[in-house]
Structure 1
Amino acid sequence: MKNNYLPYSILIALSLLPFIALAQDTPSGAFDACVLQQFAEAKENLTIAKIKDICQRQQALSVSDAELDSNQSEDIQELGVISQRLKKERKTRDNPFVLTPHKMNYILPAYSTNAINKDEYHLFEGYEENLEDLEAMFQISYKVPLNPKSMFVENDALYLGFTLRAWWQVYSEGISKPFRETNYNPELFYLMPLKWKILNGNTALVFGIEHESNGRTQALSRSWNRVYAHFLYEHSNFALSLKPWVRFSEDEKQFELDPKGDDNPDILDFMGHFELNMAYKLNQFEFSFKGRRNFSTDRGYSELGFTFPLWGKLQGYAVASNGYGDSLIDYNYRQTRFGLGITLNGLL
């Protein structure tokens, strides 16, 4: 049976054709314009469902072409590994079901030391003799973007970040496998891309304020607050960051267990005044270096890291370090450590 209303529908569609060009400026407008066009030119056996299917396919092809043009434009700008990571983060910035990594997120089931720091636990019965040189360690680190669009310069960003690190005496039978140390590190920071090019590489600045403490009381309490300026450089698969800081001063303790005084007044002597990070990505492998130094006291810390593919989102992570400040409780204790485990994300 013929549809007697089809000629009238075609006339209505034809009357709307002058508005099609205006509607094509938006994705939804382009789809509506396609439907009207197909409806006006349709044969009697072409259903509404088939018309929608045709227009959906055309819209998908149009979006793919637009993304390709955008990617080609950004490729011309020679994005480095940091810029590529930030680009991926912006795509999921407004998704409430996506957590954005800040630093690495990993667990090291095997984290050894040449000599565990026992001196700090002499006030706690049973700790010194039962601490093991082999323990587990993990880090959880995420950030939240606070600005929905650029604030001062294009693609700048304001973040609230939080990092938790924990050292777990999981192999210690004599003291019920406690967490030996936990460090909490909230921070607020602003990232600003620069137009300054160095050796054909991109640059950026980060300004931030952060607190770090172990949440303990009395003799085991360690903490400090600082402001920092963070310089970033990238070129292709190489990234470098230089992070100098200034510590906020605290009042001196009136007595040894004074809860209001500075728990670690000499922390800069061991932790230094800056941190240098470098990373290089080779296919699915990532090599990293971290270093701190106080040139006046000739004390510092160095760390080498290596990530490699396992399966799915999981990557293997191996790390070796030497020096002071592996944790806050160990800020003035020198040791050599090796770790092996898995990570959800690398630095790049």
Structure 2
Amino acid sequence: MTIHFISVNAYSFSKIAKLRNALLLLQLFLCNYAYAQSALDLCLLDEIKNGHSDLTVAEIRERCENRKELANTDDVERNGIDGNQKQELQLSYRTRQESETQFNEFVITPHKKNYALPVTVTSGINQEAYSSVEEFADNLEDIEAKFQISLKVPLNRESLLVEGDGLYLGFTLQAWWQVYVSSISKPFRETNYQPELFYLAPLNWSPFGGNTRLLLGAEHQSNGRSQVLSRSWNRVYTGLLWEKDNMALLFRPWYRIPEEEKEFENDPRGDDNPDIDEFLGHFELSGAYDWEEYEFTFLGRQNFATHKGALELGLTFPLWGKLRGFATAFTGYGESLIDYNHKQTRFGVGVSLNNVL
């Protein structure tokens, strides 16, 4: 009878131990798997699922904490580093996030910032450019709307030349809309189209403790107009991208592909804007800085020979849902192609769908 009693209790204790482990496994699964689980949680799950019922929870935890690879894994989770790999920074994080979804047919990957500015105010609308359409030019107002749509498509699934590089087809559309001018049917004053092909590759160079990338590309930019309102140019460019912590900088010089001169004033085959380099220069420097939930951006151009250039500042801030507030200020030449030789200062406010970082 005594032996039978001990046997029953041993069987009961065995069931209790299994039930305890099952409940612990369920608890870990529901609590930790529902959220971003740490390497320690994953180790605990693995040990319990492998049937170590003879160990207590404290002993299982000690086994996991003593694993050498656990510390390395936690470093990867917190800092994005693994051994000799560079720290994953803001822009690198965006690139990795995009790479996980960019081949999904239901996902459109942003290239530059996508935004809508219902209200922009300029210091002086460029009426001179539209002087050939006198009634149109006289009715243009300094208040208008502006928006930008920018996306990119990856062209390679596997690395081409170095690990992590990519070839992309990008497209950016900018539009300036005289939506508040009913007398001329609220026209789109200017629309710029910018298709481009570019290659982006990480570099094994870490100046000032940051990461760097090489950018190579070619682009066409046009306003899709004809005759005296036509503006366009073609460029090939290179760029050096540097990022550290919550900041990124891009230095992008370019070379304009020469075009033939016009044989007569309205020649559709000639160069629409032969002096565009004098106002837009041969390079630009842009950057972004992420501070908590705010992002500050800038873009600058300068032709040191003609002393003409431009500066643009931007700020995005939390609004609601996925939308972010966006405020911008521009001063100088070339806010649009039609305005490449027109100097103005413009302020705008609206919403943005994505940040740079």
TM range (shorter): 0.7 to 0.9
Give the structure 1 partner of residue 80 of structure 2: 74
- 1:227-248 per-residue CA deviation (whole Å, 9 max, x = no partner) reads 0001100000011000000000
Sequence identity of aligned pairs in percent?
56
Give the structure 1 partner of residue 314 of structure 2: 305
Give the structure 2 partner of residue 344 of structure 1: 353
- 8 Å Cα contact 2:280-2:309 kept in structure 1: yes
* CA distance in 2 between partners of 1:91 and 1:325 (Å): 36
- Of 234, 250, 271, the residue aligned with 1:241 is 250
Correspondence 1:10-49 to 2 at 5 A: none
* CA distance in 2 between partners of 1:275 and 1:159 (Å): 21
Give the structure 2 partner of residue 231 of structure 1: 240
Question: Does structure 1 residue 94 correspond to structure 2 residue 100?
Answer: no
* CA distance in 1 between partners of 2:78 and 2:322 (Å): 27
Give the structure 1 partner of residue 269 of structure 2: 260
Correspondence 1:164-243 to 2 at 5 A: 164-243=173-252
Which 4+ stretches in 1 moved above 4 angstroms? 63-70
Give the structure 2 partner of residue 332 of structure 1: 341
* CA distance in 1 between partners of 2:78 and 2:132 (Å): 63
- Report the Cα offset of residue 177 of structure 1: 0.4
Give the structure 1 partner of residue 138 of structure 2: 129
- Report the Cα offset of residue 71 of structure 1: 2.9
Determine helix, strand or coil for the equivalent of 1:79: coil
- Report the Cα offset of residue 75 of structure 1: 3.9
1:239 and 1:254, CA in 2 relative to 1: closer, same or farther beyond 3 A? same
Determine helix, strand or coil for the equivalent of 1:219: helix
Determine helix, strand or coil for the equivalent of 2:267: coil
Q: What is the TM-score normalised by the length of structure 2?
A: 0.79
Give the structure 1 partner of residue 171 of structure 2: 162
Query: Which residue identity is paired with 1:74?
Result: G
Determine helix, strand or coil for the equivalent of 1:317: strand
- 1:80-135 per-residue CA deviation (whole Å, 9 max, x = no partner) reads 21111101111112211111100000000011101100001111141121000000
Query: Which residue identity is paired with 1:262?
Result: D
- 1:283-314 per-residue CA deviation (whole Å, 9 max, x = no partner) reads 11001110001100000000111000001110
| Structure 1 residue runs without a partner (length 5+) | 1-42, 44-49
* CA distance in 2 between partners of 1:131 and 1:338 (Å): 17
* CA distance in 1 between partners of 2:135 and 2:339 (Å): 19
* CA distance in 2 between partners of 1:73 and 1:283 (Å): 17
* CA distance in 2 between partners of 1:146 and 1:69 (Å): 32
Question: Does structure 1 residue 290 correspond to structure 2 residue 299?
Answer: yes
Give the structure 2 partner of residue 113 of structure 1: 122
Give the structure 1 partner of residue 55 of structure 2: none
* CA distance in 2 between partners of 1:102 and 1:68 (Å): 32
* CA distance in 1 between partners of 2:172 and 2:125 (Å): 23
Question: Does structure 1 residue 271 correspond to structure 2 residue 277?
Answer: no
Query: Which residue identity is paired with 2:168?
Result: Y
* CA distance in 2 between partners of 1:289 and 1:69 (Å): 33
Q: What is the TM-score normalised by the length of structure 1?
A: 0.81
* CA distance in 2 between partners of 1:71 and 1:211 (Å): 41
Determine helix, strand or coil for the equivalent of 1:189: strand
Give the structure 2 partner of residue 24 of structure 1: none
- Report the Cα offset of residue 150 of structure 1: 1.2
1:187 and 1:101, CA in 2 relative to 1: closer, same or farther beyond 3 A? same
- Report the Cα offset of residue 78 of structure 1: 1.8
Corresponding pairs, count = 297
Aligned-pair Cα RMSD in Å: 2.3
Determine helix, strand or coil for the equivalent of 1:256: coil
Question: Does structure 1 residue 139 correspond to structure 2 residue 148?
Answer: yes
* CA distance in 2 between partners of 1:182 and 1:71 (Å): 44
- Report the Cα offset of residue 73 of structure 1: 6.8
1:72 and 1:309, CA in 2 relative to 1: closer, same or farther beyond 3 A? closer
Give the structure 2 partner of residue 39 of structure 1: none
Query: Which residue identity is paired with 1:249?
Result: P
